[in-house]
Amino acid sequence: MNEEMTLDGVLADIAARLDHAARDRRAAMHMPVVGTADGDLRIMVLRACDPDFTALRFHTDARSSKVSLIGCGAPVSLLAFDPEAKIQIRARGVGRIETGGAVADAAWDQASAYARRCYLAEGGPGTPTPAPVSGLPAEVEGIRPTPEQLLPARENFAVLLVTLTSLDWLYLAHNGHRRAKFSRGDAGSPWQGTWVIP
Ligand SMILES: Cc1cc2nc3c(=O)[nH]c(=O)nc-3n(C[C@H](O)[C@H](O)[C@H](O)COP(=O)(O)O)c2cc1C
């Protein structure tokens, strides 16, 4: 990043950074913090990011509290930081949950047996238990479940898709930080960007 940076360049940087984050599990932004309108925050693995930020994809348990909160449309925010690049990305948008359909089916098909096993828990995330347990049935704990054992897990699997409507990019530099903000009314509208004092 240098004096010739442009707002279009920053948008492209955000898209490239989040796309890379979704593809590389070692990327600094692979696990952003995801916020919901109730003020709660949690880390989630970013699974996909399209260049126009219309469907950032996360995987989750359909029984979790954030799923009922987000439903078919609710505000969602994201926060990620890459210490090496010294870049923070804050984003806001509208989230929606899908449990069936092509996107959720494809995501489930691509998930590993170990990833699918999480969705076999005998109760949703946050269910009280008398002892510190995983919630997994004893026969699948510590093993790679068979496809047959994983069949009941599918109904507990959901994707969270987020369409971004605002972005805030902060670059830390010794000679003075740089910050840009972007917003759009909806996914069909062009981004409006401006530099701001960091
Ligand atoms: C490194 C890490 C990665 C995580 N990835 C996910 C994820 O991809 N999806 C998810 O639903 N929860 C993930 N979690 C767990 C969430 O942070 C959270 O504890 C859980 O989803 C329950 O949140 P809720 O009560 O807001 O529904 C992850 C946690 C950590 C520490």
- Per-residue pLDDT band at 4 (split at 50, 70, 90): confident
pLDDT at 87: 98
- Residue 196 phi/psi, 5-degree rounding, is -135, 160
Domain ranges of the chain: 7-114+156-196
What pLDDT does 29 receive?
98
Structure token pair of residue 138 = 């004893």
Q: How crowded is the C-beta side of 49, counted as CA atoms within 13 Å?
A: 24
**pLDDT on residue 3:** 61
CA of 138 to the centre of ligand 1 (A): 22
Q: What is the mean pLDDT of residues 173-190?
A: 95
Query: Relative to the CA of 47, which ligand 1 atom is closest?
Result: 8
Task: Tell how far the Cα of 67 is from the centroid of ligand 1, in angstroms.
Answer: 12
Instruction: Note the pLDDT of residue 1.
Output: 63
pLDDT per position as a tens digit, 29-84: 999 999 999 999 999 999 999 999 999 999 999 999 999 999 999 999 999 999 99
Question: How far does residue 31's CA lie from ligand 1's centre (Å)?
Answer: 9
* CA 42 to ligand 1 centroid distance, Å: 6
1 Cβ inside 6 Å of ligand 1? no
- Give the range among 3-7, 72-76, 193-197 with minimum mean pLDDT: 3-7
Q: Is 41 in the pocket of ligand 1 (CB under 6 A)?
A: no
40 lines ligand 1 (CB under 6 A): yes
Q: For ligand 1, say whether the CB of 66 is within 6 Å of any of its atoms.
A: yes
Residue range 7-114+156-196 in CATH 3.40.50.720: no
How many other CB atoms are found less than 10 A from the CB of residue 20?
Answer: 15
The tens digit of pLDDT for each residue in 158-171 reads 999 999 999 999 99
**CA–CA distance from 137 to each of 47, 125, 130, 153 (Å)?**
27, 15, 16, 11
Q: Is the pLDDT of residue 89 over 90?
A: yes
> Is 27's pLDDT higher than 70?
yes
Mapping DSSP onto H, E and C, the string for 81-134 reads EECCCCEEEEEEEEEEEECCCHHHHHHHHHCCHHHHHHHHCCCCCCCCCCCCCC
